[in-house]
Amino acid sequence: MSYVNNIRMFVRVFELGSMSAAARDQRTSPAVASARISELEKHLGVRLFSRTTRSLQPTENGRIFYEGARKVLEAIDDAEAAVMDVTQNPRGTIFVSAPLGVGRRFIAPHVPAFKDLYPQIDVRLRLSDRLIDVTAEGLDVAFHLGVLEDSTLKVRLIADCPRVLCAAPAYIARRGMPADGAALIGDKHDCLNLRFPGAKEFQWTLQTADGPRRFEISGPFESDDGDVLTGWALDGRGIVMKPIFEVAGHLRSGALVPVATATPPLPTQLSSLSQHRRLKDPKVKLFTDFIAGHIREAIRRESDGEAAAPA
């Protein structure tokens, strides 16, 4: 087995804390992952991990070796990027993540066209609305929907995304039209909530005459899938906060209508996140630039006055 591949497997086992997780990350089996670690330990003459039936912990030698191994892999990646002929022969695999709605609408439809342009680049796309640890999951680039307060990653703003509070006409007929955020507090209305492990309590920040204000909202439905919330809203189950690009078609058709318009939501942001060293890889920049261009154009079409509900 390749010594470099053994080192790469060790680094991923160390970072993910699991042989099986590292095997999935490297697209191989746990047996192969274990064999690579054993071969590396044999070569070094030390144990890198303490193994039990329930846990896998790095030894002191393992922690020391990790720091050097990570630098070795970064140097290899940088060297490969430096000699790659970007315009003629970019190649390799890109690991990408995105929120479900963004990925389905803006990224997945354009991956085949990117592959046609760069046939030797493979794209591994993972879609999820949960919080993503870019470093731990070995991602080249993650698309993030939301305002980032702080990040150790390289953040590239792609677009500002206007948002809207909306509900189905059937819900409004049953529960009434809320004029502003104050009407949403308590059990006056059912708000549809995006919830996943690590999410904060339910709060919507809305623009008031006195500036932005957080409103604590509640409701009987929650999901970690934003498209599920849209489906519930269309079914008349409550009020949802959405980027306009996700519900523009429903607003145009009248299936959803804006509510609490006196206190509209603040815009959110769509950004790409990468580890600083990954940006040196030309294929990552190629992909990010390609997708960012399509995203900006799509958001402009959907948000630039085209999402108004019919009169």
pLDDT per position as a tens digit, 149-162: 656 788 889 988 89
DSSP string, 40-80: HHHHHTS--EEE-SS-EEE-HHHHHHHHHHHHHHHHHHHHH
Residue 160: how many other CB atoms lie within 10 Å: 12
Predicted pLDDT at 153: 80
What CA–CA distance (Å, rounded) separates 275 from 115? 23
Q: Is the model's pLDDT at 196 over the cut of 70?
A: no
Per residue in 108-158, pLDDT (tens digit) is 999 999 999 999 999 999 998 777 788 778 888 999 988 776 567 888 899
pLDDT tens string 58-108: 999 989 999 888 888 878 877 766 666 555 678 888 999 998 888 998 899
What is the tens place of the pLDDT at every residue in 202-247? 788 899 999 999 998 888 899 888 889 999 999 999 999 999 988 9
In the sheet where 141-145 sits, what is the strand order?
121-127, 92-98, 141-145, 268-274, 154-161
Burial class of residue 258 in the structure, from the number of CB atoms within 10 Å of its CB (0-12 exposed, 13-18 middle, 19+ buried):
middle
How far, CA to CA in Å, does 210 sit from each of 165, 184, 242? 19, 18, 23
Q: What is the pTM of this model?
A: 0.68
Structural domains of the chain in order of their starting residue, each with its CATH number: 3-83 (1.10.10.10), 92-160+269-303 (3.40.190.10), 163-266 (3.40.190.10)
DSSP string, 215-233: EE---S-EES-HHHHHHHH
Report d(CA 221, CA 193) in Å as an integer.
Answer: 7
Query: 146 — phi, psi (to 5°)?
Result: 145, 160
Distance from C-alpha of 310 to C-alpha of 278, rounded to nearest angstrom = 45
Q: Shortest CA distance to 95 belongs to which of 67, 69, 132?
A: 132
Q: Which residues contact 135 (CB under 8 A, 6 or more apart)?
A: 15, 153, 275
Burial of 43 (0-12, 13-18, 19+ CB in 10 A): exposed
Amino acid, res. 61: N
